[in-house]
Amino acid sequence: MLKRLFRYIRALFGSLLGQIENPEVILEQAREEMRENLLKNKERAVQAITERNRLRGEVEKLERACIDLERRAEMALRKGDRELAKQFLMEKASYMRSLESVKQALAQADQVVEQVKLAIKRDEERVRQKTAEILAQKARWKSAQIQNSINKALEGMSLDDVSRDLERVEDKISRAEAEAQARAEMARESVTGRMAQLEDYAASQAAEEELAKLEARLGLAAPTTEAQPATQTVQAEPSEVDKELQELEARLKGDSNTATSNP
């Protein structure tokens, strides 16, 4: 049981390690890391721009305060309250010092924002370039896997096995063709084939008779010669079909003689 568990853990670890070392997984992780870093940099840029905008608002606020204090000092002088006008101007001077400090911070913030924007733009271009390279590398990896699969399949394929298969197929085809020829030959020797040959012979004999009559009418008939007695040949023992055929011929001949004697 412990051995089986150990083998399972080792196989699982090997599978996970293989996935970690898989180029496709590594490329996808690199692509995801670049995307996450770009998003973080964009978030930092947003924070920098937000701080710059806050400083701009503070500058505008201090400028309005300085203008308002100067207006109040003028009003106090018109009323003859010089001491109050002096106090307004002193307060304005304090706001002006704060305004100068905020303006310096705003100038630095503007520089930082421009630098951040430029960095973000460069990061986006770099991410697009690296993404294209990653896609190209993934395509190369896929192509290499397919090529390796094809090569392994070709290595496992034996031409000897294919040749033996072709020989077996050729033998089967030859046997099928020979069987077809044998069946055709048997069909020619069958009763139907013999009947067809008999009909052809009868038609040939009828044509010969008609030709002889035509030659006789035209005076082209050849002189007749006495028929030579046919040479008697030794025949084999007739089969049952031959015996039945002879009996049929004898019966037909007897019927013909009876009809001739009784006109």
- The CATH number of residue 98's host domain is 1.10.287
Instruction: Classify residue 15: in a domain, yes or no.
Output: yes
Q: Are residues 147 and 176 in the same domain?
A: no
Instruction: Classify residue 181: in a domain, yes or no.
Output: yes
Domain boundary residue among 157, 181, 199?
157
Question: Would the pLDDT of 12 be above 70?
Answer: no
Mean pLDDT for all residues in the chain: 77
Instruction: Classify residue 222: in a domain, yes or no.
Output: no
Q: Are residues 139 and 199 in the same domain?
A: no
pLDDT band at 107; cut points 50, 70, 90 = very high
Instruction: Classify residue 28: in a domain, yes or no.
Output: yes
Judge whether 30 and 134 are in contact, CB under 8 Å: yes
Q: Are residues 113 and 90 in the same domain?
A: yes
Q: Are residues 86 and 71 in the same domain?
A: yes
Total domains, the chain: 2
Question: Would the pLDDT of 16 be above 50?
Answer: no
Question: Would the pLDDT of 154 be above 80?
Answer: no
Instruction: Classify residue 244: in a domain, yes or no.
Output: no
Question: What is the domain range of residue 165?
Answer: 161-216
Question: Would the pLDDT of 217 be above 90?
Answer: no
Instruction: Classify residue 230: in a domain, yes or no.
Output: no
Judge whether 50 and 42 are in contact, CB under 8 Å: no
pLDDT band at 245; cut points 50, 70, 90 = confident
Q: Pull the structure tokens for residue 35.
A: 């995307």
pLDDT band at 26; cut points 50, 70, 90 = confident
Q: Are residues 62 and 133 in the same domain?
A: yes
**What pLDDT sits at residue 244?**
73
